[in-house]
Structure 1
């Protein structure tokens, strides 16, 4: 599989309130987004190389292949959960093309394509209604997109192609 370089990703520590936030122009805590260059292949490319073309393997090799896909899926879930929980943000356009994986040894997953990302509205226990509904709707969209990523990851085919 070819390696792609120069991909941008959100660092796991992204969106953490930074220490000097009280001195910023707004006078309140802010979130920051850090970007870093990474190399690897997209989940789409990984699935096409590993899943779509390798179903002619014997059962032992198939088992290892499926186990690898499950491990990759787990790492994708952990990355998305981190963005939602710690970053208090949603990706907005999660897809197999916007997830980079470096599959040498332990999977290293990077979510890229943050042009549609947005911060979740602050929802307290006292506040409900539009803010809570907006936050849940945004998270729901990311989770629906995650299902499409998994379909492509395990089948090697885009869920949108017939």
Structure 2
């Protein structure tokens, strides 16, 4: 597996799993029914951020986007979002992307990384982020309308770099 900066040519291979994950309604608060173009604008992060892909040959296994959490006086804290193709889960793709993002944020001079909205029922993601040094700072109750569980909390997670 290689992790590299995503190009425009990668979007057609990201879009199918992006669309599926959003449609499942369990981990992302993106609007239902996004077009490929609208989703691309949300996921393909402009500078100073960037989007990366984890690939095995020509196959995109997953993707992450990263950049400053807030502009201006909040730009010293990074944020990131991750998606792994559901057909490729269980192969360490999420962990590899997570490590990549932490290392990149550190190399880019960020003071820390804040995840603004980790769905509390996404126990695999919560466990992964904890194993990579993140802590839950707070949980906003009933902030996410989960497709199966109804209203559930969103964790704010943080790691100081």
Output the TM-score relative to the length of structure 2. Answer: 0.27
Give the structure with the larger strand fraction. 2
Output the TM-score relative to the length of structure 1. Answer: 0.27
Give the structure with the larger helix fraction. 1
| Higher RCO, Cα 8 Å, sep 6+ | 1
